[in-house]
């Protein structure tokens, strides 16, 4: 397991090096454009980049003296506060969580050290009057920026009052709505679909799975009660941080004790997008073993930012739950855990489930710090530091929510956590000012519209009627086409950018010409390069015997799912076993694909798993 952690660090280093220079330049240019939009003018790119360089230099010299929190708490220049606040919000893509007062340090508050370390505080101690004054200054600055100020939590300690507040911009359209992608995994009957039904519709379950019926896509799923496809639901949050759910269930979602069964009352995605400033896109994946390849495709092809592992309180961490946890750890996606059915589980069984879960998360293979979230403060802290090492160590926070979909226990806290999760576009791997790239994860044929493709934009931006290239086809060629219309969360938009999941209607393309794993790329002077062979740095996570040249397995790389064959491997023994690392040259068996150095790959064959990163494309 120590080898796996070092290999993941090596993968991150390779990927980071590939994107570092391009990302830095692209971010500067994009920030300059956003700031110019905010002030009502759009300077040329070269001037914009120079302006941002100048602003960053000034900011760096000022940050030593005055942070944003100090500008809020001190009675200083309001224009300077507004300018710094606007810049910080745009950097974080539309929302910013601001702690005020002397609050406990998460590194010491959630430290797994035994005996417990003394709890330290960070931030400037404020009196009640000073905190009230600071909030008013922040509220005035937020209002001037057409943003809402929401109180996440407020508490008091020996050093004085403290809390966290969120500033969230009001989007001007669906294009500006923030998005967070969360993959929901777990064993059969763990309560995945039921929990999503309750979260997105606001009502509670009747104890017999009525809340999940509206989420199923196929008749056989309704008959068996089991998900077999990659489904999707969204939960919207308004600029004020309130969940966008059907009105009839609003009071119940706030946890005021009015219990009722969840009806199949549903809001359209377009209506949710009209009222929301942020949406959580849930990817409901299958829990049964026979659909494992579909679940694995959802975890790699849908590019989730976070994984929510559902564990039934009455069953514990069994079956495919461990398999899904292992895949999420291998792909290095931050993991949150929901323990469901706590209302019907005997206390002794629930205690055994919690003990086993804690043991697995603390094990050397996971190295997670389990935090049982019961308060808004814990939910906000976990969202702010989710997936990040604490206190200089390698252990990371793993929030655990003990929920009941029948009584509604802890559901408001779970919603608070989801409301505060950072946006998908905050990830450094999504570069807006770069040539357009889009991975196709699903294909549809829509009457009177034509061929429609959906997926995630991995780089660049796109507008309606832009010319693009589609490929590679079976002979490795790219076909010219154009984007007729764009939809985001089923709502029509005029443009989209990197990090967003969207759907495109394509011109002059038949359904039979498109397959999952193909890409749309912008037309540039350099034609896109297709790949048949590539070099990969791999590590064998599990294999019953040995892996040698000519070995074949199914490879998942983003939305690509194709069989590959080993041509050669660089290892002293000429073969590799469980735990071995080597440089391997692979070849696609069926047709060429569009892959780039730095992409993460996962090979599977029955229970065999091989993790790797592409280091070089050969031909």
Taking residues 31-53, what's their average pLDDT? 46
Residue 371 burial (CB count, 10 A): 22
Q: Which residues, 6+ apart, have CB-to-CB distance to 18 below 8 Å?
A: 596, 597, 598
CA separation for the pair 584, 426 (Å, rounded): 33
Domains 174-426 and 533-617 agree in fold: no
pLDDT at 105 over 80: yes
Q: According to the model, what pLDDT value does residue 44 have? A: 43
Q: Which CATH superfamily is domain 174-426 in?
A: P-loop containing nucleotide triphosphate hydrolases (3.40.50.300)
Name the band, by pLDDT with cuts 50, 70 and 90, for residue 251. Answer: very low
pLDDT at 36 over 90: no
CA separation for the pair 62, 65 (Å, rounded): 5
Q: According to the model, what pLDDT value does residue 608 have? A: 74
Angle, vertex CA 469, rays to CA 464 and CA 475, nearest 5: 150
Angle subtended by helix axes 320-330 and 292-301, to nearest 10: 30
CA separation for the pair 520, 441 (Å, rounded): 11
Beta strand 479-488 pairing with 467-471: antiparallel
CA separation for the pair 310, 297 (Å, rounded): 18
Of residues 606 and 94, more confidence is placed in: 94
Q: Where are the beta strands (DSSP E) in 385-435?
A: 396-402
Residue with tokens 């992608």: 181
Q: Which residues, 6+ apart, have CB-to-CB distance to 319 below 8 Å?
A: 187, 188, 289
May I ask the CATH architecture of the domain 533-617? Beta Barrel (2.40)
DSSP for 350-366 reads: HHHHHHHHHHHHHSTTT
Name the band, by pLDDT with cuts 50, 70 and 90, for residue 17. Answer: low
The dihedral over CA atoms of 511, 513, 516, 520, expressed in degrees to the nearest 10, equals -110
Average pLDDT, the chain: 84
Give the end-to-end CA distance of the chain in Å, rounded to a whole number.
34
Q: Which of 147-151, 229-233, 269-273 has the highest mean pLDDT?
A: 147-151
The answer to whether the CB of 509 falls within 8 A of the CB of 470 is yes
Partnered with residue 554 across adjacent β-strands are 563, 604
Q: For residue range 299-313, what is the model confidence (pLDDT) as tens digits?
A: 888 899 999 999 999
591 phi/psi in degrees, rounded to 5: -160, 170
39 phi/psi in degrees, rounded to 5: -95, 5
Q: For residue range 555-607, what is the model confidence (pLDDT) as tens digits?
A: 999 999 999 999 999 999 999 999 999 999 999 999 999 999 999 999 988 77
pLDDT at 29 over 70: no
The answer to whether the CB of 236 falls within 8 A of the CB of 278 is yes
Name the band, by pLDDT with cuts 50, 70 and 90, for residue 290. Answer: confident
CA separation for the pair 63, 67 (Å, rounded): 5
Question: Cis ω on the peptide bond leading into residue 183 (within 30° of 0)?
Answer: no
Residue with tokens 């950097």: 91
492 phi/psi in degrees, rounded to 5: -65, 135
Q: According to the model, what pLDDT value does residue 247 have? A: 62
Taking residues 157-173, what's their average pLDDT? 90
- With a pLDDT cut of 70, the percent of the chain lying above it is 82
Instruction: Copy the structure tokens of residue 60.
Output: 């760096």
Taking residues 429-457, what's their average pLDDT? 93
Q: 180: helix, coil or strand?
A: strand
Name the band, by pLDDT with cuts 50, 70 and 90, for residue 246. Answer: confident
Q: Which CATH superfamily is domain 437-522 in?
A: Translation factors (2.40.30.10)
Domain ranges across the chain: 2-169, 174-426, 437-522, 533-617
Q: Which residues, 6+ apart, have CB-to-CB distance to 502 below 8 Å?
A: 438, 454, 455, 456, 457, 486, 487, 488, 493, 496
Query: Shortest CA distance to 83 belongs to which of 109, 65, 48, 59?
Result: 59
Q: According to the model, what pLDDT value does residue 281 have? A: 93
Query: Shortest CA distance to 588 belongs to which of 578, 579, 576, 601?
Result: 601
Instruction: With residue 224 as reference, give the H or E element that holds it.
Output: helix 219-224
């Amino acid at each position: 397991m120590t080898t796996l952690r070092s290999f993941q660090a090596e993968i991150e280093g390779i990927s980071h090096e590939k994107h570092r220079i391009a990302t830095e330049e692209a971010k500067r240019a994009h920030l300059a454009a956003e700031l110019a939009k905010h002030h009502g003018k759009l300077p040329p790119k070269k001037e914009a980049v120079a302006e941002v360089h100048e602003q960053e230099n000034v900011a760096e010299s000022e940050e030593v003296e005055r942070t944003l929190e100090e500008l809020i708490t001190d009675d200083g220049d309001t224009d300077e506060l507004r300018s710094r606040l606007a810049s910080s919000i745009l950097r974080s893509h539309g929302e910013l969580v601001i702690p005020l007062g002397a609050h406990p340090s998460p590194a010491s508050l959630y430290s797994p050290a035994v005996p417990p370390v003394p709890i330290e505080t960070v931030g400037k101690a404020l009196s009640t009057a000073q905190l009230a004054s600071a909030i008013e200054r922040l509220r005035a600055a937020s209002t001037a920026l057409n943003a809402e100020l929401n109180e996440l939590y407020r508490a008091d300690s020996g050093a004085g009052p403290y809390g966290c507040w969120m500033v969230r911009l009001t989007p001007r359209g669906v294009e500006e709505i923030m998005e967070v992608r969360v993959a929901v995994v777990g064993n059969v009957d763990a309560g995945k679909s039921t929990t999503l039904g309750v979260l997105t519709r606001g009502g509670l379950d009747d104890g017999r799975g009525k809340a999940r019926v509206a989420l199923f896509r196929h008749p056989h799923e309704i008959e068996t009660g089991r998900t077999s496809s990659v489904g999707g639901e969204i939960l919207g949050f308004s600029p004020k941080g309130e969940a966008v759910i059907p009105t009839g269930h609003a009071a119940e979602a706030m946890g005021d004790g009015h219990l009722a069964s969840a009806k199949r009352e549903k809001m359209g995605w377009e209506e949710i997008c009209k009222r929301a400033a942020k949406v959580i896109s849930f990817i409901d994946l299958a829990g049964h073993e026979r659909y494992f390849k579909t679940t694995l495709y959802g975890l790699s092809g849908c590019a989730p930012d976070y994984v929510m592992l559902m564990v039934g309180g009455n069953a514990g961490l069994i079956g495919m739950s461990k398999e899904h946890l292992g895949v999420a750890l291998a792909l290095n996606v931050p993991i949150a855990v929901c323990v469901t059915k706590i209302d019907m589980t005997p206390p002794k069984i629930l205690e055994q489930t919690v003990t086993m879960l804690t043991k697995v998360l603390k094990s050397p293979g996971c190295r997670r710090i389990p935090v049982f979230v019961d308060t808004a403060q814990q939910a906000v802290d976990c969202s702010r530091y989710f997936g990040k090492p604490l206190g200089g160590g390698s252990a990371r926070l793993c929030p655990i929510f003990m929920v009941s979909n029948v009584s509604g226990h802890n559901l408001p806290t779970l919603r608070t956590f989801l409301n505060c999760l950072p946006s998908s576009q905050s990830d450094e791997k999504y570069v807006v000012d770069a040539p357009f790239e889009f991975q196709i994860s699903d294909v549809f044929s829509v009457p009177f519209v034509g061929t429609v493709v959906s997926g995630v934009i991995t780089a660049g931006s796109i507008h309606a009627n832009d010319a693009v290239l589609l490929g590679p086809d079976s002979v490795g060629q790219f076909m010219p086409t154009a984007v007729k219309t764009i939809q985001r969360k089923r709502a029509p938009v005029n443009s989209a950018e990197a990090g967003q999941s969207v759907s495109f209607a394509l011109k002059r393309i038949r359904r039979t010409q498109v397959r999952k794993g193909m890409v749309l790329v912008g037309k540039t002077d350099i034609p896109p390069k297709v790949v048949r062979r590539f070099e990969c740095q791999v590590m064998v996570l599990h294999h019953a015997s040995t892996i040698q040249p000519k070995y074949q397995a199914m490879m998942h790389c983003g939305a690509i799912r194709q069989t590959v064959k080993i041509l050669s491997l660089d290892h002293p023994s000429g073969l590799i076993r469980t735990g071995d690392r080597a440089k391997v040259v692979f070849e696609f068996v069926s047709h060429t694909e569009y892959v780039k150095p730095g992409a993460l790959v996962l090979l599977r064959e029955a229970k065999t798993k091989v993790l790797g990163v592409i280091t070089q494309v050969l031909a």
